[in-house]
C-alpha cells in the first residue's frame, strides 16, 4: 500500500513538473507576440505619421506612457462592465445601491480616459506639429482595425 501511494505521489509530482514549463512557454509566447505587435505598431506609426528620428526618439516614451495609462483605465472599465452585466442579470440579487456604485465607477472610467486623452494631446502638440498629431490618432485607429482583421484571419 505504501509503495502504491509513493508511486501515485511521484506520478502526480512529475505531471505537475511537466505542466509547469508549458505555462512558462505560453507566457513566453504571449510576451513574444506582444513584442511583435509593438514592433509592428512602431513601424506602422513611424511610416504613417512620417516622424523624423529625433521626433520618434521623444515621441515613443511619451506615447508608451499614454498607452499604459489608457490601458489601466480601459481594463478597469471592462472589469466594471463585467460586474455590471453580472449584477444586472436576473439570477443575481444586487442592491440598487451597489448597482449605482458600479455604474458611477464605470461612467467615471470614461471621464478618466478623456482626461488622459487631453493630457497627452497637449504633450503630443509640444513635440509634433498638429498635422502629425492628427496622423497619429488616425494611425492608431487604422492599426487597431488592421490587428482586428489579422486576428480574425482577414488580410489587408
- Average pLDDT for 31-50: 88
The rounded distance, in Å, linking the Cα atoms of 139 and 87 is 37
**Predicted local confidence at residue 89, as pLDDT:** 77
Cα-flanking dihedrals φ and ψ of residue 52, to 5°? -80, 160
Confidence of residue 3 (pLDDT cuts 50, 70, 90): low
**Predicted local confidence at residue 16, as pLDDT:** 46
Residue predicted with more confidence, 69 or 32: 69
Confidence of residue 1 (pLDDT cuts 50, 70, 90): low
119-134 pLDDT, tens digit per residue, is 999 999 999 999 999 9
Cβ–Cβ < 8 Å for 106, 83: no
90-107 pLDDT, tens digit per residue, is 667 778 898 899 999 999
The rounded distance, in Å, linking the Cα atoms of 39 and 106 is 32
**Predicted local confidence at residue 21, as pLDDT:** 52
**Predicted local confidence at residue 140, as pLDDT:** 93
Between CA 80 and CA 85, with CA 82 as vertex, the angle to 5 degrees is: 110
Amino acid at each position: 500500500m505504501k509503495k502504491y501511494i509513493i508511486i501515485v505521489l511521484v506520478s502526480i509530482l512529475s505531471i505537475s513538473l511537466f505542466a509547469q514549463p508549458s505555462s512558462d512557454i505560453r507566457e513566453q509566447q504571449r510576451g513574444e507576440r506582444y513584442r511583435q505587435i509593438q514592433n509592428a505598431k512602431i513601424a506602422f506609426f513611424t511610416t504613417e505619421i512620417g516622424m523624423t528620428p529625433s521626433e520618434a526618439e521623444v515621441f515613443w516614451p511619451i506615447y508608451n506612457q499614454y498607452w499604459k495609462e489608457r490601458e489601466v483605465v480601459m481594463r478597469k472599465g471592462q472589469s466594471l462592465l463585467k460586474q455590471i452585466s453580472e449584477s444586472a442579470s436576473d439570477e443575481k440579487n444586487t442592491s440598487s445601491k451597489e448597482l449605482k456604485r458600479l455604474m458611477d465607477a464605470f461612467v467615471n472610467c470614461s471621464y478618466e480616459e478623456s482626461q488622459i486623452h487631453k493630457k497627452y494631446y497637449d504633450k503630443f502638440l509640444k513635440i509634433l506639429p498638429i498635422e502629425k498629431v492628427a496622423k497619429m490618432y488616425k494611425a492608431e485607429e487604422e492599426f487597431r482595425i488592421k490587428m482586428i482583421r489579422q486576428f480574425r484571419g482577414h488580410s489587408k
